[in-house]
Amino acid sequence: MSTQNAIRLEAVSKSFDGFKALSEADFTASWGEVHALLGENGAGKSSLMNIAAGLYAPETGSLFIDDNLIRLRGPLDASSQGIGMVHQHFKLVKPFSVAENILLGLRTQQTGSFRQRLQQTAEQIKATAQKLGFSIDPFARVDQLSVAEQQRVEILKVLLAGARILILDEPTAVLTDAEAENLLTTVQNFAHQEGAAVILVTHKMNDVMRYADQVTVMRSGRTVASLKPQSVSVGELVKLTVGDAPTPAQIPASREAGEVRLEIRDLRSSAGHAPVLRGVNLSLRAGQIYGIAGVGGNGQSELANALMGMPEPVTGVMQLTGEGDLRTLSPARRRQLGIACIPADRYSAALAAPLSISDNFAMGEIHSGRYGPFWYLRRKRIEADTAAAVAEFDVQGVRSLQQKAALLSGGNAQKLVIAREFNREPQLVFVHSPSRGLDVRATLAVHERLRRARDAGAAVLLISEDLDEVMALADRIGVMSAGRIIGEFAQPADRQAIGQAMVNHV
């Protein structure tokens, strides 16, 4: 390389609807390094990287590649400069196959018919995926993949498009320990051995300390520090990132659970050539968090969909104590019974992104009559309740309660979902990857809410592909593999035994 600097952003400012997302922010990543970017939700990290990826144009400031001033007219320009970004919320065409999605993103023209080009792409996918340490079916439809598998497709897409400056937004949020280690080792080798630049937007301090050569910290749209992570302790880095954040609460070694709230027996997929659920059995008890750990794609999403009332053709028993079959309950009845649902994909399954923040919050109470009949809603009461919830749950980036929910950052959108679901004291909580993409402070707040619900007597089912999260929260842990629970562990649990069950069971 003719210069050490791969990408440099200087004095970048950007506003959205009058809100200053970036204020003269600076960032420089060098060739041959893994550079971590830290900051709370709403700190401006994604906005800055979206400018680097050509999605936004800066109002002020400059972008340099190889120390040459560059003006990007869009993502294609960024791709031609060797910049590829894997977003926290994926940019995939869901009805298309993996190979079709990746073929759309290739800049080089392959020869032959469409079928031949698709086959060439499929072979590239298999080879690159194997190098990254996982396998994926190139002809699988994206909308039939788990969140973790879709993330892998995004990573493959930018690498096969020729990215030399690779931006990864929360890449290990939905990966197991082994998968995360494989991925980060691979991108570290990509940087160190092939001279590429990898920008790692993450909130996992251990990942920063172990894999990053340099770390830049942002707060309130500004760059506040850039340093080598080895020069500070984890505690110092956390404090630099979020200030005096609360420390995580420790769960008791064991807890006495209450009555069974939900009994799941022999839950199976009832459609498709290759059923995903193959006989799930578990019991959810009052006053207990039951955590499900496992490698993505082993039926976690299908189980969550079935429990949360989303379309999922299944057979078996989902017996809710005192109510009968969970599947027969209407949304209104679910609300009356205090059933709270927090899906993994907050934008497509938990929020109506084009609607306002207040409308999204009010959805949880429309059926109760609190806001009057649906044809004449009491808007002042809706806005008062929403304002109180936004304040209580620290939803940042809210300039107006009438702004679209789509304008919230991922972490703040998650806070809005949790504010709505916990507006009443829940009795039964289904939650899938609750802290995916959240910063340290927001993660601790979400975890505290789940613990408070448990301590108040709720039965909580936590599905997470982040083993750290499951170990920190769950009173009892079930490992899911090949569509069923293949082992259960009481706290204090052996992390190594859980990890082995996750990756070794056939």
User: Are 187 and 306 within one domain?
Assistant: no
The string over 415-427, giving b where at least 16 C-beta atoms fall within 10 Å of a residue's C-beta and e elsewhere, is: bbbbbbbbbeebb
**Predicted pLDDT of residue 252:** 47
Contact (Cβ atoms closer than 8 angstroms) between residue 28 and residue 225: no
Give me the percent of the chain exceeding a pLDDT of 70: 91
Q: What is the pLDDT of residues 70-91, one digit of tens each?
A: 999 999 899 999 999 998 778 8
382, 407, 423 — which closes off a domain? 423
Last residue of a domain, one of 363, 392, 423: 423
Residues 403 and 449 in one domain: no
* Residue 143 C-alpha from the chain's centroid: 16
pLDDT in tens, 8-43: 999 999 987 667 889 999 999 999 999 999 876 668
Q: Which long-range contacts (CB under 8 A, 24 or more apart) does 247-254 make?
A: 247/444, 248/444, 248/447, 248/472, 249/447, 249/448, 249/451, 251/451, 251/472, 251/473, 251/474, 251/475, 251/491, 252/475, 252/491, 253/491, 253/492, 254/475, 254/490, 254/491, 254/492
pTM: 0.61
The pLDDT of residue 424 is above 70 = yes
CATH number of the domain enclosing 174: 3.40.50.300
440 shares a domain with 410? no
Q: What is the pLDDT of residue 373?
A: 86
Look up residue 56 and give its amino acid.
Answer: Y
By DSSP bridging, strand 165-169 and strand 197-201 are parallel
Nearest residue to 178 via CA among 133, 146, 125, 126: 133
Tell me whether residue 350 is in a domain: no
Together in a domain, 419 and 430 = no
More confident residue, 177 or 447: 447
- Look at residue 135 in the predicted model and tell me its pLDDT: 83
Residue 250 lies in a domain: no
Q: Which two tokens stand for residue 438?
A: 């959240």
CA–CA gap between residue 97 and residue 90 (Å, rounded): 14
β-bridge partners, 97: 141
Rounded-to-integer distance, Cα 16 and Cα 99, Å:
35
The answer on 407 and 277 residing in a single domain is no
Strand 314-320 relative to strand 324-325: parallel, antiparallel, unpaired? antiparallel
Q: Could you read off the pLDDT of 272-320 as tens digits, one per residue?
A: 556 789 999 999 999 999 999 987 778 898 999 999 988 888 999 999 9
pLDDT in tens, 317-345: 999 999 999 999 988 899 899 999 999 88
Q: Are residues 330 and 378 in the same domain?
A: no
Q: Please, which pLDDT band fits residue 107 given cuts at 50, 70 and 90? A: low
Regarding beta strands 428-432 and 459-463, do their DSSP bridges make them parallel or antiparallel, or are they unpaired? parallel
Answer yes or no: is 16 within a domain: yes
Question: What Å distances lie between residue 303 and 262, 275, 339, CA to CA?
Answer: 14, 12, 16
> Same structural domain for residues 400 and 290?
no
Which residues in 67-144 belong to E strands, given as ranges? 68-70, 83-86
DSSP β-bridge partners for residue 65: 7, 68
Higher pLDDT residue, 451 or 180? 451
Neighbours of 256 (CB within 10 A): 9
Q: Are residues 235 and 261 in the same domain?
A: no
Q: In the prediction, which pLDDT does 272 show?
A: 59
| pLDDT per position as a tens digit, 158-175 | 889 888 999 998 787 656
Would you put residue 80 in left (φ > 0), alpha (ψ -120 to 50) or beta?
Answer: alpha
Same structural domain, 227 and 296: no
How buried is residue 185: exposed, middle or buried, by Cβ count under 10 Å (0-12/13-18/19+)? middle
Tell me which of 393, 423, 453 is where a domain ends: 423
Q: Are residues 91 and 120 in the same domain?
A: yes
User: Sheet of 222-227: strands edge to edge?
Assistant: 83-86, 165-169, 197-201, 34-38, 214-219, 222-227
pLDDT of residue 202: 82
pLDDT score of 41: 66
The closest alpha carbon to 212, from 228, 235, 195, belongs to 228
pLDDT tens digits along 87-102: 877 889 999 999 999 9
> Residue 41 falls within a domain, yes or no?
yes
For residues 502 and 506, give the distance between their C-alpha atoms in angstroms, rounded to a whole number.
10
Structure tokens at 502: 């996750």
Residue 86 inside a domain? The answer is: yes
User: 478 pLDDT exceeds 60?
Assistant: yes
> Are residues 433 and 452 both part of a single domain?
yes
> Could you tell me if residue 63 is inside a domain?
yes
Q: What is the structure's pLDDT at 176?
A: 61
Would 67 be classed as within a structural domain? yes
Structural domain span for residue 406: 355-423
Q: Domain total for the chain?
A: 3
pLDDT at 269: 85
Residue 481 belongs to a domain: yes
Same structural domain for residues 146 and 193? Answer: yes
* Closest among 33, 4, 27 to 194, alpha carbons compared: 33
Residues facing 263 on adjacent strands: 283, 319
Q: What CA dihedral angle connects 216, 222, 225 and 229, to 10 degrees?
A: -30
CB contact set of 452 (below 8 Å; sequence gap of 6+): none
